Amino acid sequence: MTFTASQIALLISARIEGDPEAAVGSFNKIEYAKEGELAFLANPKYEDYLYSTGASVIIVNEKLELKQPVRGTLLRVPDAYLAFATLLTKYQEIMSKQLTGIQQPSYIASSAKTGEHVYVGAFAYVGENVVIENNAKVYPNAYIGNNVTIGENTIIHPSVSIYHNCVVGKNVIIHAGTVIGGDGFGFAPQEDGSFAKVPQIGNVIIEDNVEIGSNATIDRATIGSTVIKSGAKLDNLIQVAHNVEVGNNTVIAAQAGVSGSTKLGRNVMIGGQAGIVGHLVIADGTKINAQSGVSKSIKQPNSAVTGSPAHDYTSALRSQALSRKLPELEKRIKELEAFIRQLIAERV
């Protein structure tokens, strides 16, 4: 499948500079792209490749000033990275629409309902009273438990498990190996030192436009719901415990963990390997640095914290700057002590 520069320009509202009939059939990095491929330039440090690339079409920022002639056709847009992402999304939509129908062998309960243009891959299991809405895709080896709802245009990748009663919204992407709705870590200590399991009878609700990476785990609530709100983006290998709420457009990087009943606000950013203890409230716009350990609620919106226990990011930078000066300060203190001893000796 090939597209001309003029067709692509319509998709991303670009201004064409060069041959509008230049055709491309695939994508590549600007440093490796060949004739017939499309590339983009967003980071200025790669600009030298613009003049050597073999790409037939290159998406660039509107304000880029050329230092020398370019071989390919340029598509100028306000934000090259965003335009390229938009283009990839359109391409993916076109390719995914080719997947429809029910592959065999697979199991779909007689009470399950599937909409139009749904795809269910081989060896998938779809339980009782499941609803899979229009254009949703369930890839091979996925498990969809009883009473689950999957919204329109949602993609469930291979080997994803969605336990009973969970709700997945529209335009959601869940990557391979992720488990939605496993039991929360609920155990009551007994007098003999053993632990009694607390039944986890809630569910998980994933709202619209959420993306969850591979091998993440989102536990069902003890009572009520664990909620991932619309627009949130979760990386690979993330643990979200029971009754957690992840706010709108919050992003969490790989290997981070959020303990039970913690509420994350809107537009929170959490770095990789960060840990947040349970029953906290994290204010809107908070930024938590990688490997931070958050043990107290953060009530001030747009705060930035780092370290373990996590504390104010700016103060932490000052402390780091001072710690680097400690050897010099120690030397100066010793010199001052020697000088004082000399003054005392002279007076005596």
User: Residue 278 sits in a domain of what CATH number?
Assistant: 2.160.10.10
Query: Using alpha carbons only, how large is the chain's radius of gyration in Å?
Result: 27
Q: How many CB atoms lie within 10 A of CB 131?
A: 17
Residues 30-67: pLDDT tens digits?
999 999 999 999 999 999 999 999 999 999 999 999 99
The first and second tokens of residue 133, run together, are 């809405």
Residue 96 has pLDDT above 70, yes or no: no
Residues 260-292: pLDDT tens digits?
999 999 999 999 999 999 999 999 999 999 999
State how far the Cα of 280 lies from the Cα of 179, in Å rounded to an integer.
24
Could you say which of 175, 242, 279, 311 is catalytic? 242
Domain limits for position 249: 160-309
Residue 242 annotated among the catalytic residues of the structure: yes
Domain of 28: which CATH number?
Answer: 3.40.1390.10
- Does 102 map to a domain? no
Residue 313 has pLDDT above 90, yes or no: no
Q: How many CB atoms lie within 10 A of CB 311?
A: 15
Q: Please tell me the total count of domains within the chain.
A: 3
Same domain flag for 284 and 185: yes
Strands 217-219 and 239-240: parallel
State how far the Cα of 269 lies from the Cα of 53, in Å rounded to an integer.
35
- Does 180 map to a domain? yes
Same domain flag for 279 and 217: yes
Same domain flag for 88 and 16: yes
